[in-house]
Amino acid sequence: MISKPKFKICRRLGPGVYDKCQTPKFSAAATKVLPGGKRPKALTEYGAQLVEKQKIRFSYGISERQLSNYVEKASAVKGVGTAEKLFESLESRLDNAVYRMGLGASRRATRQMVSHGHFIVNNHRVTIPSYELKLGDVIKIREGSKAKKIFENLTDRLKDYSSPAWIKFDLSNLEGHILAKPKNIETFLDLNAVLEFYSR
């Protein structure tokens, strides 16, 4: 069941923000007209950019300051598209990579898993969800965590799961590999609108 705040956020920002909102039940509820039969007002350019910014914040579970820092960092890189670099930085977070490998039901869940020290990156225990992964990095489930309930029946859970091409989880060794730089496949995110918002 969708909690009221999440449901409200999804109504405002769209179903792509949370996995729980990508259901027929939510779609049916989200298409209802406003009380009194009123139609929602068309967004201004600023309003549309603000919505896109909030989509990213809630999707990745990051603060305003963190997103601002990611935008600043992406804008400072020369020779690479700013929107592309921003997406790479967001996707390369450790909590997101764990989520993309299918080890958690949501980014919020994987953020908690990382914070509790269940993962090792290149033989070092990492408890920082925003830790930036690089090409060739290896993510392992900590030996002492493998018996935890959250990792039960991984083979069955990931049997039909397809992770993005840039990352792979090896079930036999219980380790993930960063194979390439993330490419933007999230069509519901308008990163250029977010960059324009911060360029004001």
pTM above 0.85, yes or no: no
Q: pLDDT grade, residue 79 (50/70/90)?
A: low
Question: Domain extents for the chain?
Answer: 94-178
The single residue listed with the structure tokens 């830790």 is 131
Mean pLDDT score of the chain: 84
Q: Return the higher-pLDDT residue of 43 and 125.
A: 125
Q: Which fold has domain 94-178?
A: 3.10.290
**CA-to-CA dists, residue 123 to 120, 148, 151, angstroms:** 6, 20, 19
What pLDDT is attached to residue 184?
Answer: 82
**Dihedral over alpha carbons 142, 147, 149, 154 (to 10 degrees):** 80
In one-letter notation, the amino acid at residue 151 is F
Q: Report whether 60 contacts 107 (CB < 8 A).
A: yes
| pLDDT single digits (tens) 14-62 | 655 665 565 555 555 555 544 555 555 677 888 889 989 998 998 899 9
- Cα–Cα distance measured from residue 109 to residue 116, given in angstroms and rounded to the nearest whole number: 11
**CA-to-CA dists, residue 166 to 8, 156, 188, 190, angstroms:** 32, 22, 19, 21
| pLDDT single digits (tens) 140-194 | 999 999 999 999 988 888 988 889 999 999 988 889 999 999 988 766 788 999 9
Q: Report whether 195 contacts 86 (CB < 8 A).
A: yes
- Cα–Cα distance measured from residue 60 to residue 26, given in angstroms and rounded to the nearest whole number: 20
Q: What are phi and psi of 49, to 5 degrees?
A: -65, -40
Q: Report whether 103 contacts 112 (CB < 8 A).
A: no
CA neighbor of 90 nearest in space, from 121, 142, 55: 55
CB atoms within 10 A of CB 62: 22
Sheet order of strands, 119-121 included: 124-125, 119-121, 138-141, 175-178, 167-170
What pLDDT is attached to residue 48?
Answer: 85
What pLDDT is attached to residue 188?
Answer: 73
The answer to which of 1-5, 37-41, 88-92 has the lowest mean pLDDT is 1-5
Q: Report whether 161 contacts 154 (CB < 8 A).
A: no
What pLDDT is attached to residue 25?
Answer: 55
